[in-house]
Amino acid sequence: MTLIIDERPTRFSWATVINLTEFPELLLRFQRNVPGRPNAPTTVDIEKQGELLAQHDFSDRELEEFIRKVCSWGGYPGVAQRIINKNPSELLTSSFRAAHAAAHGGRVVAALEDLLQVNQLAVSFASKSPTQNFVKDCRAFAA
């Protein structure tokens, strides 16, 4: 089956269509309803680390650690190394900086699209992008 997100097919075990404009509300619902798991960072931990990452201008070391934590949080810690190995650090840094700027400019969909330029990175990860006050930006976008 195929999940189609704004004309970008991605293989999954079911078929549905999600428009990127729906993502802010879906993200808010997800954050309200996902409990933490043992030995994994919580959503709040990820958001705090994302804020620090942005404050430190997405340093390579901190960005790699953030990627590892988000993948661990999502239950797929092994994906982090693939993301890190399959992308030059300059691409990772520029994509995350662009996504951060877009989200703070009220362009949440553009922020997701910026992160989708990263090889091996999916919408699930992109929705947790390191944007200070990302949830607030999403609420403003959804309104």
Domain tally, the chain: 1
CA–chain centroid gap for 54, Å, is 13
Q: Which residue has the higher pLDDT, 83 or 11?
A: 83
Measured distance CA(39)–CA(69) in Å, rounded: 11
CA distances in angstroms from 105 to 5, 32, 64, 99, 110, listed in the order given: 22, 24, 25, 10, 10
Specify the pLDDT at position 17: 72
Structural domain boundaries, residue 118: 2-142
Residues 38-96 have pLDDT tens digits of 666 777 778 788 889 999 999 999 999 998 888 887 778 888 999 999 999 999 999 99
Specify the pLDDT at position 13: 52
Measured distance CA(52)–CA(75) in Å, rounded: 22
Kind of pairing between the strands at 2-5 and 8-11: antiparallel
Helix axes 43-55, 60-73, angle to 10 degrees: 170
Specify the pLDDT at position 135: 40
